[in-house]
Structures are given as C-alpha cells and as structure tokens.
Amino acid sequence: MSQGSSSAAPRRTLVVGAARSGKSAFAEKLAADAGGAVRYVATAVPDPADSEFAERIAGHRARRPADWSTIESADPATILSAPDNPSDVTLIDDIGTWLTARLDTRDAWDAPRGTITPDTDALIAAVAAYRHRLVIVTPEVGMGVIPATRSGRLFRDEIGTLNQRLAQVCDEAFFLVVGLPQRLK
C-alpha cells in the first residue's frame, strides 16, 4: 500500500507453512519490499535452558536488517491495538510461539477446550482492526499424522482454527512449501 492511498484497503498478509518451509524469510522479504520502516514483533518466549531454540532466535535476529525495530512480546494484540504506530510495516513472527505461550500462561494444556478463546478473539479483533501494512507468520501443523498426545492434538486443533480465522480477516494468504510461496488468497 502506498503512503498516499488512504482509500485503499489495508494490506494484511498471512504467511503459512511447515517448519523450515521458508515462511519467515518470505515474510521478511514481503516486509522489506513494502518499503518504509519495519517493526518486527517476535513472539517467542526464550527458555535460557534451551540452547537449540536460542540458536534459532539468533539466526532470525542476524537475518533482520539493522534498521528494523524489534519488539519481543508474547502479546501482539496489545501491540497492534496501540494508538500510535511508529512503522509503515509490522511483521509478527510467529503465531505458533504466541499460541504456545498463551497455553502455558493460562495453564491450558490440560484445561477444557476454549480456555484460550479470549486470547484468540483479542488477536483476531486486533488484526481485523489494524490499518497499516501487516505480515503474519504462522505454522501449518495439520498435514501430518494425528499427534499421539493430548497436548499435541490441542495445539494442532487450536492453531488450525486460529489460522482459519486469521485467513478470513487477512487480505491475502500464502502457503510456503520447500521455500516456494503459493498464493492462496
């Protein structure tokens, strides 16, 4: 969306893909190509004892341009709902780590389904109301075998429903397979 086209629809893009599909790199390219200042919202809550995850986070940080601002937050709905937006483009990476943090925070792994509905509703409302360029990265986990654990099935079901809702409020959606984007919408 160009700076002067206030009548144009907001551009909210959902980027979906499996692990190591290239979805984050593709989303970063979309954000960079949009022009202007980029605000990167990293939703991961790092565990100091998990060195492998720390290496993944470091890889993402190293890949980002130095002039991008980064906010590490497990609450993207609040960031999107803030009255002032210092950037032309906001990139959220990723919804899967956000969902995991919400399930942890609400101690919902063994709770009844729907325990985190207020959180997902708030995120959907914030995305739908957002009036600037937005790129959202989320994992696709429903194409494999049925998870053997309750927590695995819970995550798969919650992210699947959340991804459908995000796709409904986004203007476009891409699915990444082996590094190749496929336009869905």
Q: What average pLDDT does the structure give for the chain?
A: 90
Which pLDDT score is estimated for 54? 83
Q: Considering the entire predicted model, what is its pTM?
A: 0.89
Query: By the 8 A CB rule, do 176 and 134 touch?
Result: no
Q: What 8-state DSSP symbol labels residue 66?
A: T
In this predicted model, which residue has the larger pLDDT, 167 or 45? 167
Q: How confident is the model at residue 86 (pLDDT cuts 50, 70, 90)?
A: confident
Catalytic residue numbers read 60
Is residue 132 pLDDT above 80, yes or no?
yes
Residue spans per domain, the chain:
12-183
The band of 57, judged by pLDDT with boundaries at 50, 70 and 90, is: confident
Note the pLDDT of residue 1.
38
To the nearest whole percent, how much of the chain has pLDDT over 70?
A: 95
Nearest partner of 133 among 42, 23, 8, 20, judged by Cα: 8
- pLDDT at position 2: 39
> Residue 135, class by beta-carbon neighbours within 10 Å (0-12 exposed, 13-18 middle, 19+ buried)?
buried
Comparison of pLDDT for 3 and 108, the residue scoring more: 108
Assess whether pLDDT exceeds 90 at residue 144.
Answer: no
Instruction: Write the DSSP symbol of residue 28.
Output: H
pLDDT value, residue 8: 56
CATH assignment of 12-183, given 3.40.50.300, 3.20.20.140, 3.40.1190.10, 3.40.1360.10? 3.40.50.300
